[in-house]
Amino acid sequence: MAQGDTVDAPTSPPIEPVDAPQQRLYNSRVVLTTYPSQLGIDPIPLHWGASTAAARGPVVVSRSQDTFGKRNAIGAGGGSYCIYRALAVAIGALAPNHRPDFTMTEPTHQIGPFPAWSDPEKIVSMDPWGHATVEHYGEFLNQGVDVRPTIAITKAHMKLAEIDDAIERGFLRRDGEIVTEAGELKVVKVASEPVWYLPGVAQRFGIEESTLRRALFEDTGGMYPELITRPDLKVFLPPIGGLTVYIFGDPAHISDPTKRLTMRVHDECNGSDVFGSDICTCKPYLVYSIEECAREAQNGGVGVVVYFRKEGRALGEVTKYLVYNARKRQEGGDTAANYFKRTEFVAGVKDMRFQALMPDILHWLGVKRIDRFISMSNMKYEAIVNSGIEIIERVSIPEDRMPADSKVEIEAKIADGYFTTGEVPTGDMLKEVKGRNWDEIAH
């Protein structure tokens, strides 16, 4: 096709015509992609790693009429929720030209800026200025450019039965600062959507940027052709889940070297975290880390839990359940010896979280040292330490917190090299560690 590839929309009418307003959503020309030298394409300058928000420039990804030619990023805002926005527009529930009213949406707490925000190698998977759209890019908003926040900061109370238990046994106390008289935890929350600086992401994984772009194009079904046709656009907003940070105590203490920091980096496990499945230790680890973070805050330090949307080791919940079935049905039962093997048989790889991008959020928070890191994951530990952050102590989950059926996972991980303060099981020992059989979980 010619430059600025377009195709004519089908001329035959739909079988069930929809109302006229929906029919007028788009004109008859479909812009499949754009090119750097195309007429009307003049992206707003974007200098990743610049020293200030103004020098860096806003991230602009919208295809709205007023913004289309000024876009300096590939993809769509909203992370994985961009698809639901498209559906809302298609059915007439949301006007395609809707612009948010950002009145009174500013952050509840000041975080940063820190030196890492202007280091193009320290932060490559999020926009460090994504929470300050109105503050720094109001001029562009006033000109009609569709600039959207990718970070939001708020505060809340958390009410958990496990925290009630921690108070009851004297582990936490109602101090009015961290734990209210009603037993609720005071927390500062940060939500962040992914914003990838493609050269930095490629460098982090030790691959060519062109290889990364091609893989992203191919394995999303060709969803974003500009990954191929717009090498001048270096920023990509992928349609994946983001992360949430939960801060217990004063956020300013995170970057204060005189204050202790307890932290957990947790990857989503819906079955355990939300519904209490006992085949893994995810919820026990999460609850334990929340308790430890709150206690650190009560002792004058600060606690942080970072929650990533990487369900099933980023393999997804369908793959995870297929693996569960294979584990329970295999000859000899669900043994620790075959724990990773079953995952590899189904998914082709045992883990796709690839923690190389994970430390970005820690650098955004100003973390220089973690006094207590609650995790047994070597992958997370090495990613953090290799990014320049010191970890003083590694903390694993106490034995009495582990559900019986989760022993398969824990022992397999320890044998595979995960951190432990206890005994490392041998091959023969792994064969003896078994989970429930199907007849023990029949419905």
Active centre residues (catalytic): 351, 353
Gap between the Cα atoms of 327 and 335, Å rounded: 8
Token pair of 116 as six digits: 């890492």
Which contacts qualify for 312-318: CB closer than 8 Å, 24 or more apart?
A: 312/269, 313/267, 313/343, 313/350, 313/351, 313/352, 313/353, 314/267, 314/351, 314/352, 314/353, 314/354, 315/343, 315/347, 315/349, 315/351, 315/352, 317/270, 317/271
Cα dihedral sign, 320-324-325-331: positive
Name the one residue in this structure whose structure tokens are 């929650």: 307
- CA 392 – CA 40 distance, rounded (Å): 54
CA–CA distance, 220 with 238 (Å, rounded to integer): 10
Q: Which two tokens stand for residue 379?
A: 């992958």
Strand partners, 197: 235
Angle between helices 317-329 and 339-347 in degrees, nearest 10: 130
Residue among 356, 278, 343 at smallest CA distance from 312: 343
Listing DSSP states for 179-211 in one string gives B-TTSPEEEEEEEE---EEHHHHHHHHTS-HHH
Sign of CA dihedral 7, 12, 15, 21: positive
Residue 268 neighbours by CB under 8 Å, 6+ apart: 241, 307, 308, 309, 310, 311
Q: Is the dihedral of CA 244, 250, 252, 255 positive or negative?
A: negative
First-to-last CA distance in the chain? 57
CA-nearest of 248, 274, 245 to 180 is 248
Compute how many other C-beta atoms are within 10 angstroms of the C-beta atom of residue 105. Answer: 13
My answer on whether omega of the bond before 225 falls inside 30° of 0, hence cis, is: no
| Torsion angle, alpha carbons of 319, 320, 325, 326, to 10 | 70
Tell how far CA 150 is from the center of its chain: 12
Cα 364 from Cα 358, distance rounded (Å): 11
